[in-house]
Amino acid sequence: MDMQNQIPTPATEEDNYASLSNLLQEFTTIPNIDKAWLFNSHSTSKAGMFSINQPDLVANKTKKLMLSCQIFKESESSVNFLWAPFPIEISGVSLIIPSPSGSKLLLIWNPKDDESPCRFEIWSQSRMEKDFHIPQSLHGSVYNDRWFEGVSWNLDETFVAYVAEEPSLSKPEFRDAGYKKGGGCVPADKNCGTWKGQGDLEEDWGETYAGKRRPALFVINISSGEVQAVKGIDRSLSVGQVVWAPFHDGSEQYLVFVGWSGEKRKVGMKYCSNRPCALYAVRAPHHDSKSNEQEINSTQEWYILNLTRTISSALFPRFSPNGKFLVFLSAKSAVDSGVHNATNSLHRIDWPTDGKLHQSAKMYDILPVVTSAEEGCFPGLYCTTIHNNPWLLDNSTMIISSIWHSSEVLLSVNVLSGEVAHISPADPSFSWNLLTLDGNNIIAICSSPVDVPQIKYGTFTEKSKESIPWSWSDISSPMFRCSDKVRSSLFSLKCSILKIPIKEACQGIAKGASNPFEAIFVSSKSKKNDPLIVILHGGPHDVSLSCFSKSWAFLSSVGYSLLIVNYRGSLGFGEEALQSLPGKVGCQDVNDVLSAIDEVIKLGVASPSKITVMGISHGGFLTTHLIGQAPDKFAAAAAINPVCNLALMVGTTDIPDWCYVEAFGTNSKHSFTQAPSPQHLTLFYNKSPISHLSKVKAPTLFLLGAKDVRVPIYDGLQYARALKEKGVDVKTIMFPNDVHGLQRPQSEFECFLNIAVWFNKYCKLQVKDHT
C-alpha cells in the first residue's frame, strides 16, 4: 500500500481530550502576580517582595508563593532587579500585610474548621516576634475577599485594625428533658445528652458569602495579643475596608471604614457595587480600661460619625501621606440607577488638622461621572479597587488603574485640581495594572491577549512639549517564563481592537449610546478564516479587557480566532452607553453581537460556516439568546452558568433587583421587594432565551456550578433538558463544589478543555498532537 496516500484516521474524542489537556496544562501553570511591596534596605537599593498565585490542579487549590528581589537604581532612567533564585511557597496564608515602615510583617491564617483559632504572626527581619491564636469565641475568619477585606496598621505600628466574621450568635440548646433554659451560650456536650438547635436564619450577602457571618471590626494589640471588638457600630452595618485616620496629639484616634446597611433584606454583594454604603469614623479602642468607656458613654453622639451623608456610595478610603486629605471612590451612579456596576466618581474630604470631626465636613468632587466622551478623551473612571498606597511624593497625585474602553490603563489624578492624565502607553491592545510605587516611579504589569504579563518600571520625567512625561522600561523576571510550546503558539497570533458601528440607531438615542462599541479580535498571523469563537462577558455591566487570559490563549492556540465583544452596556465607554441597555436586554445587546460578527465576516477574517459562541452568566444569557434568535448562524455553543429564564431566576437568585432593572429598566429597581405579578412573570419569560428555545439548532454545552446562588443551576438545567427533549445535541457538566464564577482550578480547567473539545467536534477542527 502507498503510505503517502493513506487517509489519516480521524482523532477520537478521547484523543482530543488527551492532546488538548496537555496543551491546556502548559498554559495553566503560568503564574499570576497578585501584589508587590518595596522596602528600604540600603542607601543604594530597595528590597522587593512579589506575591504569586499558581493553580495546583491535583490539590484543586491555588498555591501562594513569594519571590523576593533586590532593586538597584543605576540612574534616573535605569533600574536593575536581582531576583532570588527560587520562590518560596507560603502554605495556607490568608493575608500578608507589611507595616508602614516595612520593619514588621503580619501573616494571618484563617481557621481550618469551626473550632480552630485564627492565627496572627508578627515577623521582624530576622525572626517571628509574636504568634497569637484568636479563638472563634472572639471572631471567625478574617475577610480576605478584596471587598469587605481591610487590614490596617496604625502609624506607630502598635495596633492593627481588621475586618473579621463576628462570633456565632447563641443558639437554643436542648437535652433529653427538652429545652435547656439559659444554655444558649454554653457549648453543647453531646456526651451529656444535649445538642444545639439551629436558631434564627442569619441572612448573608449572597454569592461567595453563603454561610459567612457579618463582617465586624476588631483591633489587636500586637504586643499583648489582646483583641477588642470596636464598640458603637450597630449590628445592622456590615463593615469593610478599614483604615486608621491621621492622629494628632491631644485628639482622639479614629478608624475610618465603609459600612453597608443590612437592616432590611440582604441581597448579593459579589460583583455588585450598587449597594448603598457610606464612610464612617469611629473611635478606636485604646486597650486601656474603664475610664475610656466612661468617656465614651458620656459623649455617645460623637462615638460614630457618618462622613458621607450627602452621597449614596463611598468606597476605598485613602488618606494622603501628609494626612490632609481623605479621598474615596463612589459608585453613586450604580446605586442611584440600580445597575450593578456603572461609571465611578472620585471625591475628597479635607481632614481636620485638629483631629475634631464634623458630620458637615465639605466634600469636593475630584472626578465627576462622565456621561459621554469625545474620541480619545477620558471616558470616565472605572475601578474595582484603589491601591493601598497610590500616592506620589507630592502628596496630591494618585496613580489609579482604570478601564478605558477595552483596555485597563494607568491614570494620574491630581486630587486638588482634578487633572487626570493617561500615563501608560496608548496601545489599546495592551492592558496595564498597578503593582506598587517606588517614590515617584511605578512598578506595573502589562499584557495583551497574545503576550504573557511583563513587569514594567515607569519613570517620571519633566513635562515638555517635546517629550512624554513617563518612560517605561522592561524588567526581566523569572515569573512568566513559559514553555517553548506556549511561546511558539503565542508568537503565531496577533490582536487588534475593532470599532463596530451602531446599526439602525433609534431616534432620540443618547449621544454616548450611538458611538461605536468595540471588540477584541485575536487571530493567526498567517491564516485567514480560522473557525471563530465569539466570547461574551457577563454582567452585563462588565467588560472584557485586552489583557492576557490563559483560557483565551489556549483556545487561540487550538486554532480558533476569537471575537471578544464589548457590547453597549459594557464598562469603560461612558455612562450614556452603559445606561442604554437596561430594559433592552435580549435585543440591543444581541443585535450588537450580531453586528460584530457581520463586521468580521465583511472584513474577510471569519468563515460564516464555522462560528461558535460562548459566555458566562449574562454572557450565557446572550449565548442562548443568539442560538435562538439566529439559529442558522452558529455551529455550536457553550453556556457557563447562563441566565436562561428570568421568570425562574427572579424567585431564586440573590440579586432579584438585577432581574427587574435589566428586563424593565432602571425605574423598576425597587420592584423586587414585592412578589412578581403574573404580568411581570410573562414579561420576564418573553425577555428570556427560553422563549426562543423552539428555534434552536446549535449543539450546546452547559457548564454549571452546583453552589451558584447568583444564577442557580435550575435555570440552566431547565433550558438544557428542554433542548435535549427537542432533539438538539446537548451536554451538561456539573461542578458540585463550585460557585457562579467556576473559579476552582479543576473546574476552570475542565470547563475550557470541554469547550475546546465540543467546538472541535462541530467545527471539524483537526487537532495537533500536543502529547
Which residues belong to the active site? 617, 708, 740
Amino acid letter, residue 107 = L
Residue 532 contacts residue 563 (beta carbons within 8 Å)? yes
Enter the DSSP assignment of 764: T
The answer to whether 450 touches 490, Cβ cutoff 8 Å, is yes
Phi-psi region of 193 (alpha: psi -120 to 50; beta: other; left: phi over 0): left
Torsion over CA: 79, 84, 87, 90 (sign) = negative
Peptide bond into 187 cis (omega under 30): no
Q: Count other C-beta atoms under 10 Å from residue 440's C-beta.
A: 13
How far is the C-alpha of 348 from the C-alpha of 655, rounded, in Å? 31
Gap between the Cα atoms of 333 and 666, Å rounded: 11
What would the DSSP string read from start to end of 420-434?
Answer: EEE-S---TTSEEEE
Instruction: Return the SS3 of 602.
Output: helix
Residue 140, all three cell numbers:
471567625
Which residues fall within 8 angstroms of residue 397, CB to CB, at 6 or more apart? Answer: 391, 412, 413, 414, 415
List for the chain the helix, strand, coil content (%; round to 5).
20, 35, 45
Strands (E), 10-102: 32-42, 45-56, 61-75, 78-83, 88-89, 95-98
DSSP 140: -
Considering just the CA atoms, what is the radius of gyration of the chain in Å? 27
* Length in residues, the chain: 771
CA distance 497 to 518: 7
**Pair 305, 280: CB distance under 8 Å:** yes
Q: Which residue has the cell 465627576?
A: 368
| DSSP letter, residue 505 | P
The rounded distance, in Å, linking the Cα atoms of 513 and 525 is 33
Backbone phi and psi for residue 416, each to the nearest 5 degrees, phi listed first: -95, -45
Q: Measured between alpha carbons, how far is 665 from 584 in angstroms, rounded to an integer? A: 8
3-state secondary structure labels for all residues of 227-295: EEECCCCCCCEEEEEEEECCCCCCCCCEEEEEEEECCCCCCCCCCCCCCCEEEEEEECCCCCCHHHHHH
* Cis ω before 582 (30° cut-off from 0): no
For residues 626 and 567, the answer to whether their CB atoms sit within 8 Å is no
> Which residues, including other chains, have CB under 8 Å from residue 352's CB and lie 6 or more apart?
358, 361
- The Cα–Cα gap between 585 and 335 comes to 20
Which pairing describes strands 561-566 and 517-524: parallel, antiparallel, or unpaired? antiparallel
